[in-house]
Amino acid sequence: MKQIKGARGRLGFQIERSEKRLLLEVLQLYPMIPADHQKLSKTGQRDEDQQLLEEALAEQRLENRKQLEAMLNARNRFRKIKGKESYQFSLKTSEADWLLQVLNDIRVGSWLKLGSPEKTDDFFAALSEKTAPYFWAMEVSGQFQMILVHALGKHS
């Protein structure tokens, strides 16, 4: 995926067919961070405030999931480039910021499912047939994040 000139203040991208498939597959994993991961207190007590936080996060995840489905199902989101195996698409700056948050959830959630390894060697030690998809999701979402961050940096 590479940034191209966007129309009317939007961020424009060209994406190969295989990259589009990867993006759509990784986005289907949202949400990945467990609902009870965010703690208000280190004591681990489930008090009223913690419950409110978890309810708010669940509501936000549901709204993000709906927005994600709408984005992915938008009729003209990806426009095939005539004679090529690639597509063009564009995002508003606010959509790119939101997409970064979704991708970050997938990346961090995958890292958590890998056992939160600290070093590269720890990542590879954690790999198995069961955990390899989480490593894949973490890396793919990170690559798309880097492209979006770079595009947002050039845009501002």
Residue at token pair 């720890």: 122
3-state secondary structure of 15: strand
Assess whether pLDDT exceeds 90 at residue 117. no
Q: Show me where the domains of the chain are located.
A: 2-155
Question: What pTM was estimated for this model as a whole?
Answer: 0.87
Query: What confidence category does residue 151 fall into, taking pLDDT thresholds of 50, 70 and 90?
Result: very high
Residue predicted with more confidence, 123 or 4: 4
Which among 92, 79, 97, 80 has a CA at the least distance from the CA of 8? 92
Burial class (CB in 10 A: 0-12, 13-18, 19+), 95: middle
Upstream peptide bond of 34 is cis (omega within 30 degrees of 0): no
